[in-house]
């Protein structure tokens, strides 16, 4: 259980991150991670901690991109949040930190895919409300679309969770739909 409150996490995110896109990404991954706690973790009791991991995983990216995620990992460790710090460390695959816990695996599995699903929503008239798994899979195969998304991390994340990629894509879509308005996922004709 995390001692860190959602309000403290939000304060940090909005202090370190000014860009609306990155704040929305944090909110989107938070929403998906809350759902992931129920599906892949110990249940609703972990939803707050898992949500905070999603909210903060890229908190230092905008201000200190060359140091990401060192600053947020250090900040979490200073507050005694070793599990959250480890998950954030493991989500940055260039560090080679092992994905040990369900939280570690879920954060990797949800981060890139959530961003990719968001990109898919922005090019659809109906956004997340009409988005289907087959459309996301097709866009994953188009390496020019959302080119910065690391497709191997998307696939590796689903494997870590022990689910088919298409099943995980549907999970992310379903988790994001209730938050479409707040996250700007309603489509290109908003």
9-61 pLDDT, tens digit per residue, is 999 999 999 999 999 999 999 999 999 999 999 999 999 999 999 999 999 99
70-98 pLDDT, tens digit per residue, is 999 999 999 999 999 999 999 988 898 99
Q: Give the pLDDT confidence score for residue 66 in this predicted structure.
A: 94
pTM over 0.85: yes
DSSP of 115-133, one letter per residue?
Answer: HHHHHHHHTSTTGGGT--H
- The runs of H, that is alpha helices, within the chain are 6-16, 20-40, 47-56, 70-78, 82-91, 102-122, 133-141, 151-161, 165-176, 180-183
- Structural domain boundaries in the chain: 6-183
């Amino acid at each position: 259980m995390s001692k860190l409150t959602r309000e403290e996490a939000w304060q940090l995110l909005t202090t370190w991150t000014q860009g609306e896109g990155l704040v929305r990404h944090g909110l989107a991954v938070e929403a998906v991670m809350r759902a992931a706690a129920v599906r892949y973790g110990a249940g609703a009791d972990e939803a707050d901690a898992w949500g905070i991991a999603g909210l903060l995983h890229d908190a230092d990216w905008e201000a200190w991109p060359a140091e990401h995620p060192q600053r947020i990992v250090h900040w979490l460790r200073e507050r005694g949040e070793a599990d959250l710090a480890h998950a954030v460390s493991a989500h940055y695959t260039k560090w080679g930190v092992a994905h040990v816990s369900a939280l570690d695996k879920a954060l990797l599995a949800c981060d890139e895919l959530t961003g990719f699903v968001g990109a898919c929503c922005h090019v659809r008239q109906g956004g997340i409300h009409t988005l289907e798994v087959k459309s996301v899979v097709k866009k994953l195969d188009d390496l020019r679309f959302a080119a910065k998304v690391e497709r191997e991390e998307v696939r590796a994340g689903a494997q870590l969770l022990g689910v088919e990629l298409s099943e995980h894509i549907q999970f992310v879509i379903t988790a994001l739909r209730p938050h479409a308005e707040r996250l700007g996922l309603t489509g290109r004709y908003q």
